[in-house]
Structure 1
């Protein structure tokens, strides 16, 4: 399957933090041909292992989180669903948004909005209070309470579409695009003679505080790890000093929370193989699973590689497929570059 097809497939699934079962099942199906075993843990992480067959081999772990932001139903009033956020959602983009409510048979809904004709100038200037918004599912109170149990999750409706041949736009590119990248990397590595075992951690609940990566990395016990996530890509209104560029390759993290040797090896690999790359300077907390993986157990040698996307945490996240393909190449070549001594 082409990388673009993998991304579209995975991002079309509905799997908010804490409710990742659909993503788990599909990722397991797609990854299974390229690994020796797949297991899970109490937090629902997918942990896969490909053995190289060499005695005393070190383990390299690739991590990406498979959850997405979403909503959860907290009450029903006159048939309208009151909700709370799952993960970080900007309330300004919620009114008039199309929603999929994840009941046993999913229900389509829309978040209510007041038309501008009915708002005063003062009301137009006010910030959006998400606590005053509801999901309209077109039902009376009795039917809504029968069909939608409290605690039901919901996600933005839709999946991923093409803006053009190379640019994809849709929900949950953060971070299922990176899950797809790892699957594609494992497909390429399945044909190679490796000297390291490879662990794939598709972690849960990252959007609620990197929870899955904490337990997943502890159980996997890798020697080295590369955490894959998305980062901010430039838009006309962005601060140029705080963003990276689409179409210029992966962002390799540089900073105190990343092992300098693994960072340097990623950069050297990109240079040697003519893979485009950018540097992302991270002065403190990276905001990724790499932050917690590095201090798991007695410490794990960790690097961070990110995919630049626009409009993060929205239903219109946007990426260029060339950047994702470059990450696949970087991870593949990096793995093959690992020598008998590994990384200091």
Structure 2
């Protein structure tokens, strides 16, 4: 399976925060040939261990979160309409008219209904509709018997190519991170490893980072790298808060990160001529790294991010070269790391 096919498969997996089990089973099978052991915990976090031949070797943990933003059914109304609420951070301004998939045993199609401009009251067009006032139209007169309250919902948008080198889809946050780790593992020569490599595709990052918290506590790594996404430049975005689209992997720098580990990644990117950008993260990084850093007795932490446009929308967009740069840096670091870092 090539890169695009794998990414397409990953983005098609339903995994709303708290409902990751189905996606976890598929991702576990994708991981299984690349490591020595794979487990799925009760929350849907997938973990794997790649054992190195070196005695008393230290452990490096690679994490990307498996869950995606979505919605949950709160009420079924007459005429096939659903009331719903978001799971994770969703901007209500872009929901009206969206296509969604309702994750019943046999998935169902729905659309977020919207009032035609002809029927709007004066001034309504300039107002954002609160999510609790929105409805999903299923077109099913028997919806009450087919769609239980509590059913999760995801955006329907499939992966599409934008030009030659970019892709757009729902949940590239953080299925792109999952793929970066899978790509990196394929490049590693197990016989030459100097550290054990733990892999974690974690549940519930969008709400609590529960999967990262419990998984890191269980695995007890010496070092950890969170692989996530961050904001890529667009003409309308703040220039000082966004990074070059196609500019390479983003290496986080700040109090959430171990300085020696971060500098080791920067030195390696320069030596290997891997495109990279420095992302200053002065406080809570909004990633699993914030939780992983303090799990158990503490973990020396780093963050690698893939530049992403339109985060938390159905049209998240990524440059493939940024994904490759992230995978290359992970693979090179793990392959050459002996378990010790210095400033």
TM-score range, shorter chain: over 0.9
The residue that corresponds to 2:144 in the other structure is: 145
- After superposition, give the CA deviation of every residue in 1:300-323 in whole Å (9 maximum; x if it has no partner): 000000000100000000000000
> Which whole-Å CA distance do the structure 1 matches of 2:204 and 2:176 have between them?
16
- CA contact under 8 A between 2:264 and 2:341: conserved in structure 1? no
Secondary structure of the 2:215 match is helix
> Which whole-Å CA distance do the structure 2 matches of 1:330 and 1:247 have between them?
15
TM-score, normalization: structure 2? Answer: 0.97
| 1:210 and 2:209 aligned | yes
In 2 relative to 1, CA 192–113 (structure 1 residues): closer, same or farther, beyond 3 Å?
A: farther
- After superposition, give the CA deviation of every residue in 1:278-336 in whole Å (9 maximum; x if it has no partner): 00000000000011101111110000000001000000000000000011110111112
Deviation at 1:127, TM superposition (A): 2.0
| 1:13 and 2:10 aligned | no
- After superposition, give the CA deviation of every residue in 1:201-239 in whole Å (9 maximum; x if it has no partner): 000011112121111111111000000100000111101
The residue that corresponds to 1:3 in the other structure is: 3
Deviation at 1:245, TM superposition (A): 1.0
Secondary structure of the 1:63 match is strand
TM-score, normalization: structure 1? Answer: 0.97
Deviation at 1:190, TM superposition (A): 4.4
- CA contact under 8 A between 1:13 and 1:159: conserved in structure 2? no
> Which whole-Å CA distance do the structure 1 matches of 2:22 and 2:318 have between them?
23
- CA contact under 8 A between 1:43 and 1:215: conserved in structure 2? no
In 2 relative to 1, CA 255–342 (structure 1 residues): closer, same or farther, beyond 3 Å?
A: closer
- After superposition, give the CA deviation of every residue in 1:4-24 in whole Å (9 maximum; x if it has no partner): 332221011111111112221
Deviation at 1:340, TM superposition (A): 5.3
> Which whole-Å CA distance do the structure 2 matches of 1:154 and 1:332 have between them?
35
> Which whole-Å CA distance do the structure 2 matches of 1:25 and 1:164 have between them?
32
What does 1:213-232 align with in structure 2 at a 5 Å threshold? Answer: 213-232=212-231
In 2 relative to 1, CA 222–91 (structure 1 residues): closer, same or farther, beyond 3 Å?
A: same
Secondary structure of the 1:304 match is strand
> Which whole-Å CA distance do the structure 2 matches of 1:62 and 1:83 have between them?
34
> Gapped runs of 5+ residues in structure 1?
none
4+ runs of 1 displaced by more than 3 Å? 340-344
Secondary structure of the 2:123 match is helix
What does 1:1-344 align with in structure 2 at a 5 Å threshold? Answer: 1-78=1-78, 79-140=80-141, 143-190=142-189, 193-339=192-338, 341-342=340-341
> Which whole-Å CA distance do the structure 1 matches of 2:250 and 2:45 have between them?
25
